[in-house]
Amino acid sequence: MPTNHDSLFIAGRWAAPSSDKRITVIGASTEEVLGGVPEGQEADVDAAVGAARTAFEDPHGWSSWPPARRADAMYRLAEALGKRRDEIANAVSSQNGMVITLAGVFESEFPTLLLRYYADLIRQTPVEEVRKGLLGGSVHVRREPAGVVGAIVPWNAPQALSATKYAPGLAAGCTFVIKPSPETVLDSVLFAEAVLEAGIPAGVINVVPAGREVGAYLVSHPGVDKVAFTGSTAAGRHIAEACGRLLRPVTLELGGKSAAIVLEDVNLNAPVIRDAFFNATMVVNGQSCYSSTRVLAPRSRYDEVVDWVATLARGLTVGDPLDPRTQVGPMATAAHRARVEGYIAKGKAEGARLVAGGGRPANLSRGWYVEPTVFADVDNKQVIAREEIFGPVLSIIGYSGEADAIRIANDSDYGLAGSVWTADDEHGLEIARQVRTGTIGINQYMNDPVAPFGGVKASGLGRELGPESLLEYQELKSIYR
């Protein structure tokens, strides 16, 4: 894993930063310094955007390459990332506390999967089609790359969420300035090394680690054609406002407060249910936007569901994220743990019944840990049921009848994900269709690259993944003949 790095990756090379400011990374489980990188400034963004613009406008460059040639380069990048699989997983786990078994999939395998998926897709997608006109003549409809993309990614899954942007964007012919979050920057060094090894042309991908202010500068930069952002709804609103003033296309993958609807017929003792329920509700230590953190339980089985969820939470292995046996690691930062603990205090103050967790693990003296926590007797109007906590905290809400469950699930400012738990998949599908959300799973929740991912309401704008994401990085041109 890289420790101290002295350069920024701009224009296809390691370049000296414009200032001596640095980002210092603290390990989430050790509270010790892991290393650091230069902190990008506005001048560095200028250089990166300039390099991306030059690469995009090169008449013989990336955007003008035949799709098959770009696809070959993307396969080389996937191979170069694959060589760094273990290093990337260890770097992410050490920085943000994601358990190593998950990091090996999300942060190492998922980006390579996406690169190959979009490389194959662009080989099969025509750049231009001819339509017979209704008024005589014909129309050539072209798909052209959107241009220079400013991609801003969060700390909870930095490599996976970067790939959801650059994989379709590279396939479309776009060039990129990627801004990693200050909490997870060491893995971005490994990514840049892979870009170099793959022979991606200079300026096509630039990486500038920086904070929020520099991120805001990137969003409004006159050389940027499109913005792609994953993060909080609050930050997303500011970005949407800036892009709205500039009439700049933007993709926003924001927060969630998804519902896990437990139906009366569910068999909680089914062998696959326990692990699937954990993955849907508390994966990434609860630091995932799509987690189903509101558990809706039928009144007829309410106590049983509460006991089952509480037992599950109490039985989870909390500890060192680099230990393959660990299921729940620490929060990413001390400040974030304080935020999560603040919500736990609000839940108690509002009268919710604490049935599991609620504190810090007694056996862990270092690291920003929070016990997997479960509240029962939660009203959907309470703060812990309305706001995104972004930690391993579940709220169990009772319902009377399926119509009531659907009403409660839809009574949220968010609409990103969700899940339905039932012994009858077909009936679960009927329920899923009535939940106003961008994605939802039946007896599981797992994003699949072939399907669009994104939300409605305060959960964002646009879609990532699937063929639909390729369209987010293309402009349509009609040529009349």
Query: What are phi and psi for residue 116, nearest 5 degrees?
Result: -70, -35
Report whether 121 contacts 171 (CB < 8 A).
yes
209's tokens:
């680690």
151's tokens:
């991609």
Residue from 185, 139, 212, 175 nearest 62 by CA: 175
Q: In the 8-state DSSP scheme, what is residue 462?
A: S
Instruction: Give the Cα-Cα-Cα angle 185, 108, 224 (nearest 5 degrees).
Output: 50
Distance CA 266, CA 223 (A): 53
The one catalytic residue in 39, 107, 183, 253 is 253
The helix (H) or strand (E) run that includes residue 5 is none
Instruction: Give the Cα-Cα-Cα angle 367, 369, 372 (nearest 5 degrees).
Output: 160
153's tokens:
């990614």
Distance CA 172, CA 472 (A): 9
Distance CA 447, CA 436 (A): 17
Residues 6+ apart with CB under 8 A from 345: none
Distance CA 19, CA 202 (A): 22
Instruction: Give the Cα-Cα-Cα angle 43, 45, 50 (nearest 5 degrees).
Output: 100
For 415-435, give one letter per residue: b (16+ CB within 10 A) or e. Answer: bbbbbbbbeeeeebeebbebb
253 is catalytic: yes
Report whether 304 contacts 267 (CB < 8 A).
no
The one catalytic residue in 289, 341, 371, 472 is 289
- 126 CA to centre of own chain: 29
CA distances from 82 to 102, 109, 187 (A): 16, 7, 13
Question: Coil, helix or strand for 137?
Answer: coil
Q: In the 8-state DSSP scheme, what is residue 201?
A: P
Distance CA 174, CA 148 (A): 6
Tell me the catalytic residues. Answer: 253, 289
